[in-house]
Amino acid sequence: MKITAHCAGGFAGLTEHYQVDTAALRNGPCIEALLASLDYLPQPPAVPVGADIGRWQITLDNGLQQHTVAFAEDGSAAAEPWQSLLAQLRASA
C-alpha cells in the first residue's frame, strides 16, 4: 500500500511529508494491520483553535482504491488512531 502524508501548520509553519510503500518497509505489515483497524468514514471537519496545530492530509492507495483522510493533530479522540499511524511513519523515516 502506498501512503502519502503531509502536514502543514504547527509551530513556525513547519511541514512534514512522508511517502512510503508498505511493501518496502520492515514494519509494513504492522502499518497495514493498523490501517485495517481504522475507520475511514468521512468525519465532519474539525475546526481546531490555535495556529500551532498541525493539519494532516493522508492518502492511502492500495492499487485498487484511493482514500484521503484529513485531521488536526490536536490531541482529540478523533485524531488518536491516526497518531498511531504517524508514529509508525515517523519511525520508518
Domain membership of residue 22 as a residue range: 2-42+50-74
Residue 22 lies in a domain: yes
Confidence band for 19, pLDDT divided at 50, 70 and 90: very high
Task: Provide the pLDDT confidence category of residue 24 given band limits of 50, 70 and 90.
Answer: very high
Gap between the Cα atoms of 89 and 81, Å rounded? 13
Kindly tell me the sign of the dihedral angle through the C-alpha atoms of 17, 20, 26, 28.
Answer: positive
For residue 28, give the H/E element and its range.
Answer: helix 28-37
Residue pair 7/76 in contact (Cβ under 8 Å)? The answer is no
Residue 19, domain member (yes or no): yes
pLDDT above 80 (res 83): yes
Q: Quick check: is 32 in a domain?
A: yes
The number of folded domains in the chain is: 1
Amino acid at 78: A
d(CA 5, CA 57): 6
> Is the pLDDT higher at 38 or at 46?
38
pLDDT at 28 over 60: yes
Percent of the chain with pLDDT over 90: 23
